[in-house]
Amino acid sequence: MFESNEIRADISTKSVLDTLDTVRELPLPPNFLWGAATAAYQVEGGAQQDGKGPSIWDEFSHREPSVTSGEDGDIACDHYNRLAEDIALLSSYGVDVYRFSICWSRLIPLGGRNDPINEKGIAFYNTLIDGLIAHGIKPAVTLYHWDLPLELHTRYGGMLNSADFQADFEHYARLCFSRFGDRVKQWITFNEPYIVALFGYHSGILAPGHSTKTGHDSTTEPWRVGHSLILAHAAAVQTYATDFLPSQKGNISIVLNSDFYEPYDATSEADKAAARRRLEFYVGWFGDPIYLGGDYPESMRQQLGSRLPQFTEAEQGLLKKTAPHNTFYGMNHYTSQYARARTTPPHEEDHTGNVEELTTNSKGVEIGPLSGVSWLRVTHKQFRKLLNWAWDRYQRPIYITENGCPCPGENSMALGQAVDDQFRVRYFGLYIDAISQAINEDGVEVAGYYAWSLMDNFEWAAGYSIRFGITHVDFATGTRTPKKSAAYLEETFGKRRAIPRNGNIANGIP
């Protein structure tokens, strides 16, 4: 008997759903915040409109031969020209918060502290912020989501020059605080510095594309870039705490991404140590200096030696002074892996802590069902463990600033199939259950959850081939169509926050 593609897709979707756990719809604190997130280069478009300068991603996505599947963010979701429509979309979903990033080169086209300001760029973000507030939506603003002004990269090497980068980022942050801080009460300095340093300056698969293959030194550059990011973050936090916090009374911190790691062999002390060490190389690299006001983890010092920069006495003083002002922990999390200790000495380009990352353990058990992209498996139980790990180590209220997944086969689906995103609904439900368990059973303080992403968008080196949105976007026309996951999130947060429960009640954005 002939079956249509739609029927076959429905059968396939059901078989995948059968591999996932059942959602329990566990309770959350009544003032728990939920929202959606995007990044400027992924959604805005308007690449050359109204005085915007080029970023490293504008240059990277136009290289020949292509490094981004022949696609770019010149138009993306055309958010720059469809702002009113997208604010109305957010409002229709009932979100509490919209997390977005500001394009540095839209405000300062050349990027530097002595370069001209583009008032049309300022006006765009004022319109966005005012529109959100008019609809009862809190803006959560990321200052840097990977799109460094190209001129700063050309002028002095960008993040490879710590002193100039710190000075220019502090100037840019001050501009944002002064122009928008009367209305923005949650600031994020950098999104995923781990990815910036390693994917931009080690593997080279993200802008600016540095790697050993391109003639750069991947044994030192990622660590120098990480050092610059930490110091620039601390400088911006100090600026906010000293000059803006007393009047604006907002919060500021950074967003760190991480998988969680289980030992490959649960009985092996070496694999247990490898799992701990992998988290130190992943999260502790940035979290320890920023939240603890100290040094890099000792495991990193032992392996990397002189390749890991030293903090000067003045820099350590800045980190200690600013640590208390990092008032929340921003967590981006998608999936988890098994960690197996390598038995040979680490390669000089190793950034893992000499750990092999696997999706299957010593008993042949997969860590979770596969989503619509090869690197992301559904691992909500490990998510709960990561929440506990971050809370125990840093003792800051946690905001889940990104979490989501693409459905299997989603990019090849017809519109009717794509918007019926039951896999994503189940993923969200399980991960939100894990948050509830962490809060109510483990005593972890989790304050909010921002789904990635508001809409399908330009997914960096993968171009438009992967869809993470709770809104379907037809990239040929720009048409937005809500998916079932959007309605699910609105419904589940409304329901879960109304369930009586015991446990900590987290503080929201002021």
State the catalytic residues.
192, 402
Beta-carbon-side half-sphere exposure of residue 75 (alpha carbons within 13 Å) = 8
Strand pairing report for 186-191 and 138-144: parallel
Handedness of CA 301, 304, 309, 310 (dihedral sign): positive
Give the integer Cα–Cα distance in Å for 288 and 323. Answer: 10
Residue whose pair of structure tokens reads 């004022």 in the numeric block: 126
Strands 336-341 and 355-358: antiparallel
Instruction: Write out the two tokens for 498.
Output: 């109304």
Q: Residue type at 5?
A: N
Element spanning 473, H or E: strand 471-473
- Burial of 3 by CB count in 10 Å (0-12 exposed, 13-18 middle, 19+ buried)? exposed
Between β-strands 329-332 and 336-341, what pairing exists: parallel, antiparallel or unpaired?
A: unpaired
Is 193 within 8 Å of 142 (Cβ atoms)? no
Distances in Å between the Cα of 445 and the Cα atoms of 197, 252, 398, 501 are 29, 17, 6, 14
